[in-house]
Homo-oligomer: A and B are copies of this chain.
Amino acid sequence: MTTRQANSLDTLFRPKSIAVIGASATPTKIGGVPIAHLLRYGYRGDIFPINPQHQTIQDLRAYPDVRAVGKDIDLAIVAVPAAIALNALKQAAEANVKSVVLFTSGFAEVGETGAIVQRQIGALARTSGMRILGPNCLGVMSGESGVYATFSPVAGTGIVKQGNIGLVSQSGAFGGFAYSLARERGIGLSHWVTTGNEADVDMSDCLDWMIDDASTRVILAYMEGCRDGAKLVRVLDKARAARKPIVIVKVGRTDLGAAAAASHTAALAGADAIYDAVFKQYGVHRAATIDEAFDVAYAVSVGGLPRGRSIGMLTASGGAGVLMADEAASLGLDAREMPEHAQKQILARVAFASARNPVDVTAQITTDEELLPLSYRLMLEDANYDNLVIFQSAAGLSPRGPELVQQAVEMRAKYPDRVIALSSLFTPELHRQLDDGKVLAFADPSRAVRAIAALAGFAASGVSAEKVAALSAVQLADATLSEAGALAALQAAGIPVMPHQVATDGAEAAAAAERLGFPVVAKIVSPDILHKTEIGGVLLNLQDKDQVAKAFDELTARAKQAKPHARIEGVLIAPMIKGGVECILGMQRDPVFGPVVMFGLGGILVEALRDVSFRLAPFGKAEAHRMIDSIKARAVLDGWRGAPAADIDALSDALVALSRYAAAAGDKLESIDINPFVVLPKGKGAMALDAVLVIKQSKP
């Protein structure tokens, strides 16, 4: 068989005709449910039940074999036992079916025998070009075309309203739950898909299709793991460029969770911290809970993206204002103060208001009808906030509710580039009016602020996509390098390293020390001794030529004693560097995502607190800055306890250079550990003081 061009997923989400292989006359059976749904919810294309035992199924003409249909089949739903599934798929491919939803379970999830058949299913998809969703999945629902290619019972109790949130879930149970939740919360979906075992179509394919889909404004994804990191990254990059926000619930953020995930899914998981880094890097919002994911998706769906991070908070309850301010501050929103003249206008009307931000107009808002319109105007026009949250206590349910809603909708129409959220309780009818008027509604004011922070995060990430020029291919040695070799390689890659010289005898060492300036450090140089301190291979703070010459002899003697067969390249002499902030820069290779760069401050505490950040290589300078900014101990670099601020610019340059080197070096480069990397005060640069570069040994 030759590989054909893969079909687009259009036929999966918007099929013009659907065959059901293993169709059942009983509407509650796995092969009967989708036919019942398609009929009930008004699917307008052709439906071809395939079942050799029946002439008609659910009042439709049935066919004995998919090849007997004789018409174009966009989508075949396959609901036959595992033992005959592959055969059914082959027949579908022969009938030129464009895509398949394969409900059947009993493949990779039940062991190696099933995995073998699953690989054959994947191979069939690749050679035939027929796209296969599943196996072991709950299928697809797409309300706009009346497509209910699922046997999930959730559509049986009612369908969601048509909306603009695309939902992709690797888990069927989660998908069903999320569908019901959307229905109960009155949230509209554009498409719903569960990917199951992903023999062919995977989560990235579905994301990719929804990014292009005009009906989808935001994508909510549930992920357990990903096999093809590069593909996922390409898709996330495309989403960012298209400004189509993605919200992901990715399970397994703790060790216990990761262990549970491993026992649950056969998918290679990759380190959770790296997923986290990828999501940050590509502007994906990772939600810790289902509720959070829905809050954020709903907020994009209704409110769209704001211009920026500034937030105005208006309240009639000082306390609720403080709650919102706490949330805004801890999420890094820009809660700038109102302009002086706007504050004066508020205070002129309400003497005991707080007019800065949050603006607390007190209970007077219930008696003074002009107060709310005035506040809107001052906050949206004069203060020019990108986002506005208004806490209105329970007023949404009071007789004033409809008026409050109408005002908010009018304001949103007048300032279409702002996000406006009301925190109050509303009737379902008022909720609908707010949805239609693109105004957000949250009962809990903290959740309103959190949702806005997520929107601002999307807005910022779309702006900041950087192109990074690839480094031309790097020539790597055939084996792990000595410190001197590692430093040379890094220096060639544009990473600053300390002044140093490798001496091969005591006199040369002493001369080098004199040239570099006392005091100096002396370190044994050998590709066979990576952990120099363990053998006493480092001597610090040498004050004169005599000490340096002696140190040379001492170090070579120690090395020979500890590792008689080690290749000794000499002794490295470098000046003692005073001051600066010690950092760690590193690179490692993730099994899913490839080369990853790590940054953190030096010292035991950072390790104990896991206060490091990761990014996929390569990345540009803006991303390097975000990477630096995302560690918790960030303030240390700004000058702590009176120390001067560190040279962040030099640090970010080094991270970019390291990322480009890591990306260009290829699989042979296993890891880099630059520790310490000292960042000197602003304007003075930064430099690696030591480095280990581990290279995969070529097979001889």
In contact, B636 and A264 (Cβ under 8 angstroms):
no
In contact, B251 and A319 (Cβ under 8 angstroms):
yes
How many angstroms from the CA of A259 to the CA of B170 in the assembled complex? 45
Residue of B nearest to A319 (CB): B171
- Interface: A577 (CB within 8 A): no
In contact, A326 and B605 (Cβ under 8 angstroms):
no
In contact, A323 and B249 (Cβ under 8 angstroms):
yes
In contact, B329 and A264 (Cβ under 8 angstroms):
no
In contact, A252 and B180 (Cβ under 8 angstroms):
no
Could you tell me the distance in whole angstroms from the C-beta of A158 to the nearest C-beta in chain B?
9
In contact, B443 and A181 (Cβ under 8 angstroms):
yes
Within 8 A of B (CB), among A308-329: 315-323, 325-329
Q: Which of A254, A257, A443, A445: most chain B CB closer than 10 A?
A: A257
In contact, B447 and A393 (Cβ under 8 angstroms):
no
Looking at the complex, which one of B289, B325, B605 makes contact with A606 (CB distance below 8 Å)? Answer: B605
A253: chain B residues at CB < 8 Å are: 326, 330
- Interface: A263 (CB within 8 A): yes
Looking at the complex, which one of B156, B177, B180, B328 makes contact with A256 (CB distance below 8 Å)? Answer: B328
- Interface: A120 (CB within 8 A): no
In contact, B174 and A319 (Cβ under 8 angstroms):
yes
How many angstroms from the CA of A254 to the CA of B332 in the assembled complex? 11
Contact segment of A18-26, A75-83, A349-357: A349-357
- Interface: A298 (CB within 8 A): no
- Interface: A633 (CB within 8 A): yes
Given A290-B444, A335-B256: A397 touches B318 (CB 8 Å cut-off): no
In contact, B633 and A251 (Cβ under 8 angstroms):
no
Looking at the complex, which one of B264, B319, B606, B632 makes contact with A322 (CB distance below 8 Å)? Answer: B264
- Interface: A179 (CB within 8 A): yes
How many angstroms from the CA of A323 to the CA of B260 in the assembled complex? 9
How many angstroms from the CA of A105 to the CA of B318 in the assembled complex? 15
Looking at the complex, which one of B315, B354, B446 makes contact with A263 (CB distance below 8 Å)? Answer: B354
In contact, A318 and B608 (Cβ under 8 angstroms):
no
How many angstroms from the CA of A184 to the CA of B358 in the assembled complex? 27
In contact, B224 and A264 (Cβ under 8 angstroms):
no
Could you tell me the distance in whole angstroms from the C-beta of A197 to the nearest C-beta in chain B?
12
In contact, A444 and B291 (Cβ under 8 angstroms):
yes
Residue of B nearest to A602 (CB): B605
Residue of B nearest to A114 (CB): B352
In contact, B154 and A320 (Cβ under 8 angstroms):
no
Looking at the complex, which one of B224, B603, B605, B641 makes contact with A318 (CB distance below 8 Å)? Answer: B224
How many angstroms from the CA of A609 to the CA of B636 in the assembled complex? 9
A265: chain B residues at CB < 8 Å are: 318
Q: Which of A110, A251, A424, A641: most chain B CB closer than 10 A?
A: A251
In contact, A325 and B605 (Cβ under 8 angstroms):
no
Could you tell me the distance in whole angstroms from the C-beta of A618 to the nearest C-beta in chain B?
29
In contact, B317 and A177 (Cβ under 8 angstroms):
yes
In contact, A153 and B605 (Cβ under 8 angstroms):
no
- This chain's copy number in the assembly: 2
- Interface: A157 (CB within 8 A): yes
How many angstroms from the CA of A640 to the CA of B259 in the assembled complex? 24
How many angstroms from the CA of A327 to the CA of B289 in the assembled complex? 9
Given A352-B109, A354-B260, A605-B633: A289 touches B397 (CB 8 Å cut-off): no
A335: chain B residues at CB < 8 Å are: 256
In contact, A317 and B260 (Cβ under 8 angstroms):
no
- Interface: A172 (CB within 8 A): yes
A84: chain B residues at CB < 8 Å are: none
Could you tell me the distance in whole angstroms from the C-beta of A43 to the nearest C-beta in chain B?
22
- Interface: A60 (CB within 8 A): no
Looking at the complex, which one of B259, B319, B424, B447 makes contact with A264 (CB distance below 8 Å)? Answer: B319
A352: chain B residues at CB < 8 Å are: 109-111
A446: chain B residues at CB < 8 Å are: 288-291
Within 8 A of B (CB), among A91-114: 105, 109-111
Could you tell me the distance in whole angstroms from the C-beta of A407 to the nearest C-beta in chain B?
18
In contact, B444 and A289 (Cβ under 8 angstroms):
yes
How many angstroms from the CA of A473 to the CA of B234 in the assembled complex? 70
- Interface: A360 (CB within 8 A): yes
Residue of B nearest to A290 (CB): B444
- Interface: A176 (CB within 8 A): yes
- Interface: A46 (CB within 8 A): no
Residue of B nearest to A604 (CB): B640
Q: Which of A363, A601, A605: most chain B CB closer than 10 A?
A: A605
- Interface: A394 (CB within 8 A): yes
Give a binary string over A276-291; 1 marks a CB under 8 Å from any B CB, 0 the rest: 0000000000001111
A641: chain B residues at CB < 8 Å are: 604, 607
Could you tell me the distance in whole angstroms from the C-beta of A102 to the nearest C-beta in chain B?
15
Binding site for B on A (CB under 8 A): 105, 109-111, 153-154, 156-157, 170-174, 176-177, 179-181, 184, 222, 224, 249, 251-257, 259-261, 263-265, 288-291, 315-323, 325-330, 335, 351-352, 354, 356, 358, 360, 363, 391, 393-394, 397-398, 424-425, 443-447, 601, 603-609, 611, 632-633, 635-636, 640-641
Q: Could you name 24 residue pairs across A and B whose Cβ atoms are closer than 8 Å?
A: A111-B352, A153-B394, A157-B398, A173-B320, A177-B394, A177-B424, A180-B394, A252-B322, A253-B326, A254-B326, A256-B325, A256-B326, A257-B323, A257-B326, A257-B329, A264-B319, A264-B322, A289-B323, A290-B323, A291-B446, A605-B636, A607-B641, A608-B640, A609-B611
- 5 further A-B contacts with Cβ under 8 Å, apart from A171-B319, A173-B393, A289-B446, are A255-B329, A256-B335, A260-B325, A291-B444, A605-B605
